[in-house]
Amino acid sequence: MPITVGEQVPDVEVRTLVQGAPVVVRTGEVLGRGRVVLFAVPGAFTPTCSDHHLPGFILRRDELAEKGVDTVACLSVNDAYVMGAWGRSQRVEDTIVMLGDGNGEFTRAMGLEVDLAGAGLGLRSKRYAAIIEDGIITSLFVESAGLDVSSAESVLKAL
């Protein structure tokens, strides 16, 4: 069952790349302090994710900060190396925290997994964005198809 507004963000281990090495971080720490925008994608380097979703948050990072967002995080069911390489290719630098949910544990805890085995992708995350305030989900935008409700522009409007 998908997580709902008003619930605590799950606290599980994910990984991020630091100086070329994967580092374990807890989502409760990364996503649990201040005002956070989390967006999740079905896969790094995939067309919609690389051409629109991640670039939108990169371009609008300053606008998000102006609205009081302390952290912007991107999560995918990929390993930390893939997320790091994707971040480098998109020139994320330190503007967005790139989180690898390689085993899909956070995605399952959120109840937002999708089976894309038919396309050769296996278990992945649905495309979504969430506004999180001190660890509590205050808004959740889950896509049914495409990129509409979870875009940076949509999140900005909700803030």
Q: Is residue 60 part of a domain?
A: yes
Say if 7 falls within a structural domain: no
Is residue 89 helix, strand or coil? helix
Q: Which domain holds residue 34?
A: 13-158
**How many CA atoms, within 13 angstroms, populate the side-chain half-sphere of residue 17?**
22
Those residues with Cβ within 8 angstroms of residue 106's Cβ, 6 or more apart along the chain or in another chain: 10, 12, 14, 27, 75, 99
For residue 48, CA distances in Å to 43, 44, 51, 143, 157 come to: 9, 10, 5, 12, 21
Residue 5 resides in a domain: no
Active-site option among 49, 83, 98, 99: 49
What are the pLDDT tens digits along the chain (159 aa)? 899 999 999 999 999 999 999 999 999 999 999 999 999 999 899 888 888 899 999 999 999 999 999 999 999 999 999 999 999 999 999 899 999 999 999 999 999 998 877 887 768 899 999 999 999 999 999 999 888 899 999 999 999
Please report whether residue 19 resides in a domain: yes
Round to whole Å and give the CA distance between 39 and 98. 10
- Per DSSP, 8 falls in state B
Q: Residue 12: helix, strand or coil by DSSP?
A: coil
Say if 8 falls within a structural domain.
no
Instruction: List, for residues 47-82, the tens digit of each pLDDT value.
Output: 888 888 999 999 999 999 999 999 999 999 999 999
Residue 1 placed within a domain: no
Inside any domain, residue 96:
yes
Q: Work out the angle at residue 8's Cα, subtended by the Cα atoms of residues 1 and 135, and round it to the nearest 5 degrees.
A: 140
Within-domain flag for 56: yes
Annotated active-site residue 74? The verdict is no
Which CATH number is 65's domain given? 3.40.30.10
User: What backbone phi and psi angles, to 5 degrees, belong to 66?
Assistant: -60, -25
How many structural domains compose the chain? Answer: 1
Q: Record the pTM.
A: 0.94
